[in-house]
Amino acid sequence: MDRFVLILIRLFFKSLNCLPLPWRIKTTEALIKTAIRFSPRHSKVALANIRLAFPKENPEWHQNLYNKSFSSLARLIVDFGRLPEINKEWIEQNVDISYWPSFLELKRRNNGKGVLLVTGHLGSFELQAYILSVLGHPIKFVVRNFKLPAVDKWWNAQRERLGNKAIPRRGAFRQILASLRNGDDVALLFDQNVTRNFAVFIEWFGRPAATTKAVALAALRCQSPVVISALLYKNSRYSLEAREIDLTGIYSNTTLSDQEKIMKITSILVKEYEDLIRLSPESWFWMHRRWKTTQSQDDEKQLYQASLAQIAENQKG
């Protein structure tokens, strides 16, 4: 079964890459929409999330954002399939990387210390990591393993073609610390739900959401420079949106406990990342239950039920 699925995936990308780029995206978008019809739960979760994040917007606006998100998801998949085609000339023609000299200067100022790259499921995050390796600056990044070993091995091999290194999420924290201390740059995706024992509750779009402690804890342990980033597609061109986050004042603050520092760091990062999402909200992965884990189990049961009920009521109207 494992090998068969891998054959299908490779055949899909090989066939897809025979098409002109616009048709690759249209074809992939059509396939995603077809798949969603067989899994209406994902559609409901996405609309519920959008409503929770933008409660002041009307149902038509919510639906429009949801519809536009399919194109972004299709582009993410298409971009992964064409990673072997990406080179420096393509980057120069298609990507605004004006931040890149600032990143290299950040490394210089910090004497080559490892930079913690904070990102998430926004825009073309697979392409973002690959671009850095094409520029001659491979990074390490934490990944969730696929359940099928052959698929997992092949997928990570594509990611690692030019020197990037995927770190399996299970037991990753020690490797993160060791890599940062060794001067390697490490990317962490921090925008999805985690269980309570691994979480601090930080407001995302005005609602407390279970957010991983790992990013702030790694930054604190290593006193790392931190950059928050996303690769967004707008106006027929990609843009590497990146912001250096100065946390030195928190690192050196002796009046704060480690837990207070973790809360402050995570809050700052969430706010900055939320600003990136607002630049291109259709580019975020809305089908994930971002607010699944709440501070109260009763709230957890009621939150999505209330949002879904309101959506159903709007659709009736």
| pLDDT tens column, 140-150 | 999 999 999 99
**Over 90: is that where the pLDDT of 299 sits?**
no
pLDDT of residue 171: 87
| pLDDT tens column, 156-179 | 999 999 999 999 998 899 999 999
Question: 2-316, what's its fold?
Answer: Glycerol-3-phosphate (1)-acyltransferase (3.40.1130)
pLDDT of residue 297: 61
Please report which helix (H) or strand (E) contains residue 214, including its range: helix 214-222
Q: What percent of the chain has pLDDT over 70?
A: 93
Q: What percent of the chain has pLDDT over 90?
A: 89
Q: What mean pLDDT comes out for the span 292-312? A: 65
Please report which helix (H) or strand (E) contains residue 141, including its range: strand 140-143
Q: Where are the beta strands (DSSP E) in 55-123?
A: 95-96, 116-119
pTM of structure: 0.92
Q: What does 282-308 look like in DSSP terms, one character per residue?
A: GGB-TTS-TT-S-SSHHHHHHHHHHHH
Torsion of Cα atoms, 171 then 208 then 118 then 251, to 10°: -90
| pLDDT tens column, 191-248 | 999 998 899 999 999 999 999 999 999 999 999 999 999 999 998 999 999 999 999 9
Please report which helix (H) or strand (E) contains residue 202, including its range: strand 199-204
